[in-house]
Amino acid sequence: MSVDYSVQGSVAVLTVDNPPVNALGYGVRDGLKTGIEKAVGDSQVKSVVIIGKGRTFPAGADIREFGKPSREPWLTTNGQLIETSSKPVVAAIHGTCLGGGLEIALFCHYRIALPFAKVGFPEVALGLIPGAGGTQRLSRLTGLPVAMEMIYSGRHVPINKAKEYGIIDEIVTGDLLKAALEFAQSIQGRPFKDRCLKFKAVPGADRVEEYASAAMSQVKKKYKGYEAPMACVQAVRASAELSYEEGMKFEREVFGQLLESGQARAQQYAFFAERAVTRWQMPGGSYKTAKPLPVRSTAVIGGGTMGSGIAVCLLSAGLPVYLLEQNEKFLQSGVNMVKNIMAGSAKLGKISMETAKKAATLLKPTLSYEDLRDVDLVIEAVYENLDLKREVFSKLDKVCKKSAILCTNTSTIDIDRISTATSRPESVVGTHFFAPAYHMKLLENIYGTRTSPNAVATVMKLGKTINKVPVLVKSCHGFLANRMNAPFGSEAIFLVEEGASPQEVDQANEDFGMPIGPFKVRDLSGIDISWRINREVAKAMGTTITKETRFLGGNRYCGLNDDFYDRGRYGRKTGKGWYRYEKVGGKIPVVDTESQEIIQSYRERRGIVKRKITPQEIHERQFYSCINEGFRILDEGICNTPEEIDISWIYGFSFPKYRGGPMFYASQIGLQKVYQRICHYHQTCPYSIHWVPNRLLKKLAENNVPFSEWANHVSKSRM
Ligand code: 3HC
């Protein structure tokens, strides 16, 4: 039974028991209906308590039921039964009372909660609005501005705030059931019909226009491209403009339309994908069998931009960090960077003042490897150079205790080439952070051929501890994210070489939903950095890049980036790059004639006749080449599922969640179409290896394999 019915004295207790989060699936809804009807018909019962067993009050509708035929009783049926009950009903809340769970609570006549409980309407994160009265009922309690903000942001509201808003009647401590029974007894005999929200007027309804337009402008700023947040505002607005019944009808219609939309499907996919990637597997171990080692103390080698950002992540989670640099000057600069980031985060309210203060005491700057003798985990974040990294690991091997996990923040180098500098390659693992490390949520964890599953379990757990989304991949050059990003970035440059402007390429990407186009990204990360990476790649191939270079390792090469480098245009840091900026370090890109001249003279030098390139071609060439690489990554076993790729792109490169990630997006376009276009570009651009159509993609496209089956075909394709 998903809902247990018991009577304690004069109070009926309905205990929802549907682990892990008491989602309101069919069984729970049916159990609640039966329970309420039974309580109403039981003459011994004078009041009713609804409570959740285990870790939480219901955390929402059962998302797994979306898209399947709906079964009565619906949540609103439960709600109406509660609201019209002849006996008062009390919601006793602990854990996370979310979505449909909060809607049930709002149908109850009273709500009490434990101090650490949270409430919220996170439907917006699933591409939806609340669909069982939340948009019509919350505003009647809290007023319009709070209801609009809570629903369009989806944030989880701490219980003391919820009490301030009027959502919670009483915060109780100790045993929740005991407190709920006492509360339910205390209200017996009191009139309670005025507690039904549907009869209440919406406070501030006369200013609805003003509130809605303020909320809408926030939504447009913060959630560009997303449909649901706007619909949230419109639905709450309806609560002030329509009767309760009409408002409920409006909410139902909008909920139904969104449920059928591509965005909701993609966002729900992303919700489950994010959880699926925690179930990692590698040769010899998995999340089920491997044991994470305790991490109580850490060290970061290198106090540059990445190293300081990584130190901030560890410190914010309350972990002590040794920050090691090679000299006093660099060390001081690293410490200052850490302090500035922490101060900035505290100012923006991202971390508390206490966390920032505590972090200052946890940071231990050092110049000596000897200090790292007892740390549990070290993250190396020095400059991307194999010899240097090997030198660092050889030193770590000499001083660190045997059980220490040695991590590298390399963004491209094969882990095996680094781990062989130690006598313990089983303890060496990649922990690739994305810039800015304290902000981007992806942690790409990488295992080499000799990395132990326990080392992997340790960094997967560490990812959660520092509030990242960890994804596990097998080592190869560029791993998952940067390997897929390579054709994406190369095609951007080739498109400009052939005739597009950087702003046209950026615009096509931003129209698709990327927060910032690839040329603005290059200006941000530094043209000198991509220049250096190209040289490292050439060096690894035993060759050099000159003005004449057109191919690198048999692959098409464009030297436009080098021309910008030669002119000292490194991007924002020099005030000019692909764009011009108002000042050195400026943030607002302006189209620049010198930039256009560099591009045009490059084309003339190479005899390229500029042609008009459509936004569709820009889109296909960047995203389809990266999707093809994604299939190659799956095919080679660099990762196991398309979910791992999609989550990496959502959290590493801010791919729009409402499109689900590049692989899910490919499934929505249709693999046959994607495959045909890749074949077309392979014919028209034969000198780019990334256009060689992948065989797994070909097989899935030809057999019209649905997305849910892709992962099953992956393992077979590797045989
Ligand atoms: N439906 C179905 N399954 C759910 C679920 C839901 N609403 N919420 C969580 N789960 C599942 C997860 O998929 C996961 O399954 P797994 O173990 O097989 O991977 C398991 O429950 C545990 O979830 P988490 O790993 O996320 O556990 P946490 O403790 O980290 O977080 C939580 C708990 C905060 C409740 C988080 O799970 C969450 O945010 N859930 C979604 C809440 C939500 O969106 N509610 C609104 C639903 S839509 C709705 O109610 C519509 C209504 O208005 C009509």
Whose Cα sits closest to atom 19 in ligand 1? 275
H/E stretch holding 580: strand 580-581
> Do the domain assignments include residue 47?
yes
Residue to mutate (ligand 1; options 16, 18, 21; most atoms within 8 A of CB): 21
Same domain, 506 and 438: no
The pLDDT value recorded for residue 716 is 62
Q: Which of 211, 227, 244 is the last residue of a domain?
A: 244
Same domain, 588 and 631: no
Q: Token digits for 640?
A: 């196991």
Could you tell me if the CB of 334 is within 6 A of ligand 1?
no
Distance 110 CA to ligand 1 centre (A): 25
Instruction: Give residue for tokens 């028209």.
Output: 684
CB 404 within 8 A of CB 378: yes
- Interval 644-658: pLDDT, tens: 999 999 999 999 999
Distance 21 CA to ligand 1 centre (A): 6
Same domain, 240 and 155: yes
Confidence grade of residue 465 (pLDDT, cut at 50, 70, 90):
very high
Q: Rounded to an integer, what is the distance from CA 467 to the centroid of its chain?
A: 10
Same domain, 532 and 507: yes
Could you tell me if the CB of 97 is within 6 A of ligand 1?
no
Distance 485 CA to ligand 1 centre (A): 31
Q: What would the DSSP string read from start to end of 276-299?
A: HTTS-EETTEETTT--PPP---EE
Whose Cα sits closest to atom 17 in ligand 1? 275
Burial of 171 (0-12, 13-18, 19+ CB in 10 A): middle
**Highest-confidence segment of 342-351, 449-458, 687-696:** 449-458
Residue to mutate (ligand 1; options 24, 63, 135; most atoms within 8 A of CB): 63
Distance CA 497, CA 520 (A): 17
Distance 162 CA to ligand 1 centre (A): 21
Alpha carbon of 52 to those of 70, 94, 133, 391, 521: distances in Å? 23, 8, 21, 55, 47
Could you tell me if the CB of 680 is within 6 A of ligand 1?
no
The three-state secondary structure class of 551 is strand
CB 61 within 8 A of CB 98: no
Q: Which of 557, 589, 606 is the last residue of a domain?
A: 606
Average pLDDT over residues 123-136: 98
Q: Token digits for 173?
A: 């401590």
Distance CA 459, CA 451 (A): 12
Comparing C-alpha atoms, which of 381, 420, 428 is closest to residue 400? 428
- Interval 25-50: pLDDT, tens: 999 999 999 999 999 999 999 999 99
> Do the domain assignments include residue 275?
no
Same domain, 558 and 627: no
CB 567 within 8 A of CB 581: no
Angle at 387 between CA 381 and CA 393, to 5 degrees: 55
Same domain, 569 and 653: no
The pLDDT value recorded for residue 231 is 98
Distance CA 650, CA 42 (A): 52
The pLDDT value recorded for residue 93 is 98
Angle at 652 between CA 646 and CA 657, to 5 degrees: 50
The pLDDT value recorded for residue 718 is 60
Phi-psi region of 67 (alpha: psi -120 to 50; beta: other; left: phi over 0): left
Q: Token digits for 314?
A: 């560890």
Could you tell me if the CB of 309 is within 6 A of ligand 1?
no
Instruction: Give residue for tokens 């008491």.
Output: 22
Rg, C-alpha atoms of the chain:
28
Whose Cα sits closest to atom 16 in ligand 1? 275
Does residue 540 surpass a pLDDT of 90?
no
Question: CA 573, 574, 577, 581 torsion: positive or negative?
Answer: positive
Distance CA 210, CA 273 (A): 39
Look up the CATH number of the domain holding residue 55.
Answer: 3.90.226.10
Same domain, 164 and 93: yes
The pLDDT value recorded for residue 601 is 96
Angle at 155 between CA 154 and CA 160, to 5 degrees: 135
Catalytic residues: 103, 123
Could you tell me if the CB of 123 is within 6 A of ligand 1?
yes
Residues present in the chain in total: 719
Residues 6 or more apart in contact with residue 410 via CB below 8 angstroms:
384, 389, 418, 430, 432
The pLDDT value recorded for residue 356 is 85
Comparing C-alpha atoms, which of 527, 629, 541 is closest to residue 571? 527
Atom of ligand 1 nearest to the CA of 125: 44
> Do the domain assignments include residue 559?
yes
Could you tell me if the CB of 130 is within 6 A of ligand 1?
yes
Look up the CATH number of the domain holding residue 517.
Answer: 1.10.1040.10
Confidence grade of residue 534 (pLDDT, cut at 50, 70, 90):
confident
Measured from the Cβ of residue 574, the count of other Cβ atoms closer than 10 Å reads 17
**The total number of structural domains that make up the chain:** 4
**Domain of 99, in residue numbers:** 3-244
Whose Cα sits closest to atom 53 in ligand 1? 130
The pLDDT value recorded for residue 345 is 87
Distance 25 CA to ligand 1 centre (A): 12
Average pLDDT over residues 180-199: 96
Does residue 532 surpass a pLDDT of 90?
no
Look up the CATH number of the domain holding residue 373.
Answer: 3.40.50.720
Average pLDDT over residues 240-256: 97
Could you tell me if the CB of 296 is within 6 A of ligand 1?
no
Q: 321: which strand partners? A: 298, 363
Q: What b/e string do you get for 434-451 counting C-beta neighbours within 10 Å, with b at 16 or more?
A: beebbebbbbbbbbbeeb
Q: Token digits for 447?
A: 């295992």
Could you tell me if the CB of 58 is within 6 A of ligand 1?
no
Average pLDDT over residues 507-532: 94
Q: What percent of the chain has pLDDT over 90?
A: 89
Distance CA 4, CA 54 (A): 13
Distance 566 CA to ligand 1 centre (A): 52
Residues 6 or more apart in contact with residue 684 via CB below 8 angstroms:
none
Does residue 332 surpass a pLDDT of 90?
yes
Same domain, 173 and 102: yes
> Do the domain assignments include residue 267?
no
Same domain, 186 and 218: yes
Alpha carbon of 201 to those of 137, 142, 238, 257, 568: distances in Å? 10, 11, 13, 27, 64
Distance CA 523, CA 537 (A): 20
Does residue 389 surpass a pLDDT of 70?
yes
Distance CA 562, CA 534 (A): 9
Same domain, 73 and 151: yes
Could you tell me if the CB of 98 is within 6 A of ligand 1?
yes
> Do the domain assignments include residue 262?
no
Does 348 or 601 have the greater pLDDT score? 601
Alpha carbon of 476 to those of 151, 407, 537, 717: distances in Å? 43, 16, 14, 19
Same domain, 586 and 622: no
Question: CA 164, 166, 169, 171 torsion: positive or negative?
Answer: negative
CB 14 within 8 A of CB 3: yes
Q: 571: which strand partners? A: 576
Residue 425: cis peptide before it, omega within 30 degrees of 0: no
The pLDDT value recorded for residue 143 is 97
Residues 6 or more apart in contact with residue 368 via CB below 8 angstroms:
324
672 residue type, one letter: Q
The pLDDT value recorded for residue 529 is 85
Whose Cα sits closest to atom 37 in ligand 1? 21
> Do the domain assignments include residue 109?
yes
Q: What is the mean pLDDT of the chain?
A: 95
CB 441 within 8 A of CB 405: no
Distance CA 587, CA 287 (A): 43
Q: What percent of the chain has pLDDT over 70?
A: 99
Confidence grade of residue 357 (pLDDT, cut at 50, 70, 90):
confident
Question: CA 550, 551, 555, 558 torsion: positive or negative?
Answer: negative
Distance 99 CA to ligand 1 centre (A): 10
Give the CA count within 13 Å in the CB-facing half-sphere of 439.
9
Give the CA count within 13 Å in the CB-facing half-sphere of 371.
17
> Do the domain assignments include residue 257?
no
CB 120 within 8 A of CB 155: yes
- Interval 577-632: pLDDT, tens: 999 999 998 999 999 999 999 999 999 999 999 999 999 999 999 999 999 999 99
Instruction: Give residue for tokens 């296909």.
Output: 620
Distance CA 672, CA 669 (A): 9
Distance 59 CA to ligand 1 centre (A): 6
CB 664 within 8 A of CB 266: yes
Burial of 703 (0-12, 13-18, 19+ CB in 10 A): exposed
H/E stretch holding 556: strand 555-556
Q: Which of 244, 267, 302 is the last residue of a domain?
A: 244
Same domain, 304 and 415: yes
Q: What is the longest distance spanned by two Cα atoms in the chain? A: 93
Could you tell me if the CB of 259 is within 6 A of ligand 1?
no
Whose Cα sits closest to atom 26 in ligand 1? 275
> Do the domain assignments include residue 411?
yes
Average pLDDT over residues 512-519: 96
